[in-house]
Amino acid sequence: MVDTIVAASDVPDASADRLWSLVGDLPAWGAMLPSVDSVRRLGAAEVPIGVGARFAVRQPGLPAAVYEVTEWSPGRSFTWVARSPGVVTTCRHIIEAEGAGSRLRLSIEWTGPLAGLVRLLIAGKARRMVESEAATFARLAQSA
């Protein structure tokens, strides 16, 4: 079973590069986003972020999770995945240039035998968090 939540924000006054400078700065998310308490890099912090990089993520009201980057396209997108018993959480972050501005698309997807239960328990909270993240990144990108 697959359950997906998607949020998007148009950022007409910020370039895709500006938006990526925020979205791609994972360790700074705790200071930027109200939906994230902390993102801590696991392993070699001096190595540039890329596929295989792992992060301990804490968010209000959710269990701590370890996310591993599975796709990293600087300036364009990244995907990271957290695994727990019965469910895999996949989060995608996609930036598209639109004229002089940009568009940010965020999604969270649950797969596995417990995906339906996870959706029942936290879908509303997750939707609000994803929408908040998209709106916050858009606001920050336009204010700089």
Q: How many domains does the chain have?
A: 1
Indicate the pLDDT class of residue 29, thresholds 50, 70 and 90.
very high
According to the model, what pLDDT value does residue 5 have?
Answer: 80
Find tokens 């909270």 and name the residue: 125
Complete DSSP assignment for 9-30: EEETTS-HHHHHHHHT-GGGHH
Find tokens 């007409």 and name the residue: 12
8-17, 20-29, 70-79, 89-98: range with lowest mean pLDDT = 8-17
Range of the domain at 108: 2-143
Amino acid letter, residue 8: A
Q: What is the pTM of this model?
A: 0.92
pLDDT tens digits along 2-17: 557 888 888 888 999 9
Spatial separation of the C-alpha atoms in residues 44 and 102, rounded to whole Å: 32
According to the model, what pLDDT value does residue 144 have?
Answer: 64
Find tokens 């239960």 and name the residue: 117
| DSSP reduced 3-state for 71 | strand
CB-neighbour burial class of residue 127 (10 A; exposed 0-12, middle 13-18, buried 19+): middle
Question: In the predicted model, what is the mean pLDDT of residues 71-86?
Answer: 97
The CATH number assigned to the domain holding 56 equals: 3.30.530.20
